[in-house]
Amino acid sequence: MDMSIRFIKKIYILLISMFTLSISADINLDDIFSKKIDKPIMFFFHKDNCNFCEKMIFEFEDNNISNILKSKFIFLDINRDDDDTILYKGKEQNNREFTKDVVGIDFFPTLIFMDKNQNIIYSIVGYRNIDITRDTLIYISTGAYKNKTFEEFEEDE
């Protein structure tokens, strides 16, 4: 893939992150959870040279998807291969350690949704098309996950 397209994609992910929550380059989850947050946190785990990860990044550029992300979620972009550090429960780890040891992710891309109490409320392992991604964001942001499975939600929609 052309280097300029990769650069543009990284800038886009950075901009989404900046508009949803002001954090430094390193992610301080302890600080995020200490604040009174009223939005679920969506972690987007991906890695370099992953075609499905890149395809999903492009889907985040869709106006419907980006508007939902900006208004309804705290969006955290975690590239396993970056050198950033994450502070969580008083322990600082690099992205690779956090992705493997804390969250246990071995497959990319993965979306994990957490509530304000640090409970994982839903996860998607692997690539999902734009319609499923949008429906998942609506499923989580409306709180439908509390009362029905995603499949039941899809049938009702």
* pLDDT for res 46: 96
Residue 85 has which token pair?
Answer: 């550090």
pLDDT band at 10 (very low <50, low <70, confident <90, very high): low
Q: How confident is the model over 11-26, as a mean pLDDT?
A: 47
- Please tell me the CATH code under which domain 3-156 is placed: 3.40.30.10
Q: Is 56 left (phi over 0), alpha (psi -120 to 50) or beta?
A: alpha
Matching residue, tokens 């709180």? 143
Segment 116-133, tens digit of pLDDT: 999 999 999 999 999 999
104 versus 55: the higher-pLDDT residue is 55
Does residue 93 carry a pLDDT above 50? yes
Rounded to an integer, what distance in angstroms lies between the CA atom of residue 114 and that of residue 116?
7
Q: Would the pLDDT of 17 be above 50?
A: no
Q: How confident is the model at residue 21 (pLDDT cuts 50, 70, 90)?
A: very low
Confidence category of residue 103, pLDDT binned at 50, 70, 90: confident
Distance of CA 143 to the CA centre of its chain: 17
5 has pLDDT over 70: no
For tokens 């109490």, the residue is 117
Task: Mean pLDDT check: name the lowest of 23-37, 41-55, 121-135, 143-157.
Answer: 23-37
